[in-house]
Amino acid sequence: MKESFVTNPILWADVPDPSVIRVDDIYYMVSTSMHSMPGCPIMKSKNLKDWEIINYVFQTLEDNDAHNLMNGQHIYGKGSWAVSLRYHQKTFYVCFSSNDMQQFYIYTTKNLEAGDWNRVVFDGLYHDPSLLFDNDRLFVIYGNGDIRITELTPEATKVKENGIHRLLLSTASKNIRLRCEGCHAYKRNGYYYLFFIEWPADGNQRRRQICYRSKDLLGPYEMRVVLDDDMGYHNKGIAQGGIVDTKEGRWFALLFQDHDAVGRIPHLVPVSWEDDWPIFGTCGKVPSEFISPLPETQQAPLVISDEFQYETNKLALNWQWNHNPNNELWSLTERKGYLRLRTGHITKSVEFARNTLTQRTEGPRCTAITKLDFKQMKPGDRAGLVALQSHYAWIGVLAGNEQDFYIGIGEKGDLGEEDITASTLYTSDTVYLKASFDFENSKDFVEFSYSNDGITWEMIGQKIKLHYTLDHFMGCRVGLFNYATQNINGMVDFDFFHYKKR
């Protein structure tokens, strides 16, 4: 077996709050997806570095105005947070909280790749939860600073009557910007281990990985800082995530690092043990490269090109909608070889446009190109290619009131309104649109260009700065959109989506 060569980061894209398990010799990971639907992507790997999307936990989480992006409501920065993945007695468990719903969710299935999911909803928030199976008992450990434990029934359907429900420990609060959260709980060699992320206001003043351990589930717990490293990247600490072992007994941690506009990107860290304390990395540092005993495999693309050659209205797993889609207003089959997007409601910005279809962006640089047939747009419609964050920017076609069409740039202005910052008259009814991203060393720019033949390109506008902000709480996504500002029932056809990582 050929050992694998690991280079950090293992994925230069937004895969936040990773929770990883091993079942036999296969590794599975779930991560946070917030307002993107379907939600809670499940990835699979043989070596912890080459990951493939294989499923989602849910197609939609709730059906209301906020989740449907209607009547000015939204779930940006909300939705599913900090997912926990566990496997017990041939059943997979996924749990998370939703801030907008003020609810805690547990999904279970016997088949992670193709099975049906059973869903149970609990009232109240269990912030950044971790499930812990201890013999025949089930606990959820959660909280920010004040860490609580609640016992559930073994079948994970309700809080256990007369079970444990109490404050487990209070983490440090002095000189702390962010108290411990993001729990990952384990039991190993007679100890209970709780891993957290913490952000101190003194010392290195960056996020770091904390470990609490105890021989008794209810404590007392002792604490160590197990990782405080940024790999030389703008003092952004690598932290929050869990540990997993190989069949041969080697250990690794999967953690993330903030990389500004591209999002929170995962790193793989070797873990050893000394006196039953985990030792992360090499001499306290995350190695930029190392040899892993796990087998070398082929990396499946996280972001894909798509010719939209589908027999049914079922997209590749790499695609996610921005909020819940209206399934009556999109099609892969009405016009063979095209993605058709119809308008169904009036809005003033792409941020509230339904049926925006997105994928992640990737560093250090990437480019997306699409071809758009817009002859059936209505006056006031806008359609094109978006770099979607809170401070979004897009290139697209603007339909005028006199059958005039313009290629324009839209941006979110300082007052939150959508501003058209550049435009030029365009006389054809098809156009190629390009978005070129540069995330290297947090440059975080996008520039837009267009073409009538896909060969000769004309840049429009200036380079636009991208920003990671907590109101969206996700890395920049690239998306295809169509929305109406005056009249509904217009439509556009996207011929393809071509993507290249550079």
Q: In angstroms, rounded to a whole number, what is the distance separating the alpha carbons of residues 27 and 22?
A: 4
Residue 338 is encoded by which pair of tokens?
């095209």
3-state DSSP helix/strand/coil % of the chain, to nearest 5: 5, 50, 45
Beta carbons of 238 and 229 less than 8 angstroms apart: yes
- Tokens 């892993």, residue located: 292
**Cis bond before residue 220 (omega within 30° of 0):** yes
Burial-class residue 202 by CB neighbours within 10 Å (0-12, 13-18, 19+): exposed
- Per the CB < 8 A criterion, the answer to whether 341 and 326 are in contact is no
Burial of 116 (0-12, 13-18, 19+ CB in 10 A): exposed
161 is catalytic: no
Say how many CA atoms lie within 13 Å of 15 toward its Cβ. Answer: 29
Cα angle 417-407-403, degrees, rounded to a multiple of 5: 100
Could you tell me if 18 and 94 are in contact, meaning their C-beta atoms sit under 8 angstroms apart?
no
Which member of 14, 50, 128, 181 is catalytic?
181
Task: Round to whole Å and give the CA distance between 138 and 152.
Answer: 6
For 358-389, b where at least 16 C-beta lie within 10 A, e where not — what string? bbbbbbebbbbbbbbbbeebbbbbbbbbbbbb
Q: Is 17 one of the annotated active-site residues of the chain?
A: yes
Q: Is 441 helix (H, G, I), strand (E, B) or coil?
A: helix
Give the CA-trace dihedral at 238, 200, 218, 128, to 10 degrees. -60
The 8-class DSSP code of residue 113 comes to: T
The DSSP output letter for 391 is T
Q: Which member of 14, 17, 260, 373 is catalytic?
A: 17
Residue 224's closest CA among 167, 146, 148, 171? Answer: 171
307: CB partners within 8 A, 6+ apart: 337, 496
Is residue 35 a contact partner of residue 74, using CB atoms and an 8 Å limit?
yes
Q: What is the chain's alpha carbon radius of gyration, rounded to the nearest angstrom?
A: 23
Tokens matching residue 141 = 């450990």
Q: How many helices (H) and strands (E) does the chain have?
A: 1, 37
Q: Which residues are catalytic?
A: 17, 181
